[in-house]
């Protein structure tokens, strides 16, 4: 297929020519001239640019709010695109907009369109919506005038049901979206946006163009374009490839495809352990979780990525794929040094196999960040303790934010083995010499790392879970 295709305002839009790194927000505001969607931060933080994408799912359409500023135009291939400009019909506001008016929630013109689209997306989730659900939904929409209360009221008033043209047209839209199939390749060999339709084709293309940018959710790559002004001329998008975002439960372990988004992983991770569910819920905000993937979070090699420490502590195995060649390694071995991972150009992070904790194992993980929602970790600690009675016979501890890579605390692990949980309270975390940066000072990181170790040991010994409860 040589043209990008997406469904918008009742018709399939086809685009045969576009710069590979065109951002969706620029397309909307500069090409389509739909200016209801606003540009605030241009880095995925404020939600002013929130739009909704519909994906064909189980005979219907799954609607999710995403940040248009860091989403590339090519990522909407095969999706339905809805923006705030589309909601009012024949001079009548959409129920979500009307609820915003009725509760006096419409405040400044920058944030309101994003709030409307986030609530629109929640209203189409077809699930009971309470205050916590509304708060979680709008955590990625920042209002600097602090007027959240009426916005939450609007959400509660309207998000428990969606009866509008989109909900009524779901089966028709499903057919239209599923008809957009096959590999996408727009451009030529020097400059292209490609979205292979299967995982095998994806691996083949990445091996053929090893210097191309592999794009998954774009929640990092998007910022290379919007903040670092780096041109991306060859892009291979993973999100259209069937078989790349599957999750399989093998009984004793979960197999998570690299293309699984944080939103899709949430339900599975929380069954593995509630702490993982909580971590997934605090990963960025809704818009970031809808786009960002587990594979991207591993591949970017960030020392402050949230998933790697948790997955390392659980003993995850990483699978990589280059063309037809696959290999695997312990996840911790993938992170070689700052900005350096054991991955050659064109090689894909393919999937991660995550063992489930056994009955005699205690798992704990904690994210420490300045803000509760929508913030990157200052320190992220994960612990897997294997116990015989109260004696620690094996320990796997991994931290993010404490070293140049997500890293195991091998010395501390060794010091814990053979000790009872009580005796282990005297062990000091002795593996890291963290740096100070704008997120935290070095001293803070060491203090927090030790506090988290103690918290994990106390909770393993039966102390109440001291997590902050969801508001
Ligand atoms: C507002 C905001 C909040 C955020 N909050 C958090 C947070 O709370 N915790 C956190 O850990 N991170 C956070 N992030 C960072 C980012 O969202 C995550 O790291 C995310 O998981 C990246 O995944 P992605 O699919 O978007 O990756 P992309 O941006 O698509 O790619 C990231 C990197 O990985 C490469 N890549 C992607 N997929 C593959 C693959 N399958 N194989 C090989 N290479 C690949 C890309 O080429 C690129 O180098 C946040 C980002 C933003 C913008
Ligand atoms: S403009 Fe702020 S999230 Fe997109
Ligand atoms: S609605 Fe824009 S700052 Fe509050």
Query: Which residue in 26, 131, 125, 114 sits closest to 66, CA to CA?
Result: 114
What is the pairing mode between strands 253-257 and 60-67? unpaired
Distance 227 CA to ligand 3 centre (A): 23
Arithmetic mean of pLDDT, 110-115: 96
pLDDT score at 470: 42
- C-alpha 439 chain-centroid distance: 20
- Domains of the chain, first to last: 4-177 (3.10.20.30), 181-237 (3.30.43.10), 247-355 (3.30.465.10), 361-460 (3.30.390.50)
Candidates 147, 148, 149, 152: which one to mutate for ligand 3, based on the most atoms within 8 Å of Cβ? 147
Angstrom distance (rounded) from CA 234 to CA 299: 18
Arithmetic mean of pLDDT, 252-280: 93
Q: In this model, does residue 344 exceed pLDDT 90?
A: yes
Position in ligand 3 atom list of the atom nearest CA 151: 1
pLDDT in tens, 55-77: 999 999 999 999 999 999 999 99
Distance 126 CA to ligand 3 centre (A): 27
What's phi and psi for 235, nearest 5 deg?
Answer: -125, 130
What percent of the chain is modeled with pLDDT above 70?
98
pLDDT in tens, 309-328: 999 999 999 999 999 999 99
Which letter does DSSP use for residue 432 in this model? -
Query: Which-ligand-closest: CA of 341?
Result: 1
Q: In this model, does residue 40 exceed pLDDT 70?
A: yes
pLDDT score at 469: 42
Candidates 49, 112, 286: which one to mutate for ligand 2, based on the most atoms within 8 Å of Cβ? 49
What is the pairing mode between strands 213-215 and 192-195? unpaired
Query: Which-ligand-closest: CA of 116?
Result: 3
Give the pLDDT band of residue 467 (cuts 50, 70, 90): low
Distance 361 CA to ligand 1 centre (A): 30
Q: What is the mean pLDDT of the chain?
A: 95
pLDDT score at 466: 53
pLDDT score at 465: 59
- C-alpha 146 chain-centroid distance: 26
Arithmetic mean of pLDDT, 228-248: 97
User: Residues near ligand 1 with C-beta < 6 Å?
Assistant: 43-45, 70, 213-221, 238, 258, 283-284, 288, 291-293, 295-297, 299-300, 302, 305-306, 348-349, 376
pLDDT score at 146: 72
pLDDT in tens, 182-191: 999 999 999 9
Q: In this model, does residue 463 exceed pLDDT 50?
A: yes
pLDDT in tens, 137-153: 999 999 888 789 999 99
DSSP letter string, 168-210 = HTHHHHHHHHHT--S-EEEE-SSSEEEE-SBHHHHHHHHHHST
What percent of the chain is modeled with pLDDT above 90?
89
User: Residues near ligand 3 with C-beta < 6 Å?
Assistant: 107-108, 110-112, 143-145, 147
Q: In this model, does residue 25 exceed pLDDT 50?
A: yes
pLDDT score at 376: 87
């Amino acid at each position: 297929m040589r043209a990008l295709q997406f469904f918008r305002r009742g018709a399939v839009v086809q685009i045969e020519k576009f710069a590979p790194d065109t951002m969706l927000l620029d397309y909307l505001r500069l090409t389509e001239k739909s200016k209801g969607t606003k540009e605030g931060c241009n880095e995925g933080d404020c939600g002013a640019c929130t739009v909704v994408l519909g994906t064909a799912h189980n005979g219907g359409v799954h609607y999710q709010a995403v940040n248009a500023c860091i989403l590339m135009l090519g990522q909407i291939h095969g999706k339905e695109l809805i923006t705030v400009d589309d909601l009012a019909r024949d001079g009548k506001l959409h129920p979500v907009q009307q609820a915003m008016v009725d509760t006096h929630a419409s405040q400044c013109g920058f944030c309101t369109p994003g709030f409307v689209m986030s609530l629109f997306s929640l209203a189409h989730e077809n699930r009971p919506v309470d205050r916590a659900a509304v708060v979680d939904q709008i955590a990625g929409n920042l209002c600097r005038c602090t007027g959240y209360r009426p916005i939450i009221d609007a959400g509660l008033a309207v998000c428990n049901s969606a009866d509008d043209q989109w909900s009524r047209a779901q089966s028709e839209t499903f057919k239209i979206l599923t008809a957009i199939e096959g590999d996408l390749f727009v451009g030529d060999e020097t400059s292209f946006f490609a979205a292979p339709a299967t995982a095998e084709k994806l691996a083949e293309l990445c091996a053929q163009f090893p210097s191309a940018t592999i794009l998954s959710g774009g929640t990092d790559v998007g910022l290379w374009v919007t903040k670092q002004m780096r041109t991306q001329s060859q892009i291979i998008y993973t999100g259209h490839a069937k078989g790349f975002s599957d999750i399989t439960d093998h009984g004793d372990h979960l197999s998570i495809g690299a293309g699984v988004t944080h939103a899709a992983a949430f339900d599975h991770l929380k069954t593995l352990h509630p702490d993982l569910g909580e971590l997934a819920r605090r990963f960025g905000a809704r818009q970031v979780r809808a786009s960002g993937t587990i594979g991207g979070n591993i591949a970017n090699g960030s020392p402050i990525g949230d998933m790697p420490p948790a997955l390392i502590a659980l003993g995850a195995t990483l699978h990589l794929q280059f063309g037809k060649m696959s290999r695997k390694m312990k996840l911790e071995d993938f992170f070689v040094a700052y900005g350096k991972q054991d991955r050659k150009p064109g090689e894909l992070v393919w999937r991660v196999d995550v063992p489930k904790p056994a009955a005699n194992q205690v798992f704990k993980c904690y994210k420490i960040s300045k803000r509760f929602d929508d913030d990157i970790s200052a320190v992220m600690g994960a612990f897997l303790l294997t116990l015989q009675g109260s004696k620690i016979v094996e320990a796997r501890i991994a931290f993010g934010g404490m070293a140049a890579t997500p890293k195991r605390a091998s010395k501390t692990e060794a010091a814990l083995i053979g000790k009872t949980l009580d005796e282990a309270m005297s062990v000091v975390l002795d593996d890291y010499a963290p740096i100070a940066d704008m997120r935290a000072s070095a001293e803070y990181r060491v203090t927090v790392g030790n506090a988290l170790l103690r918290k994990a040991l106390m909770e393993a010994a039966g102390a109440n879970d001291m997590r902050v409860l969801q508001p």
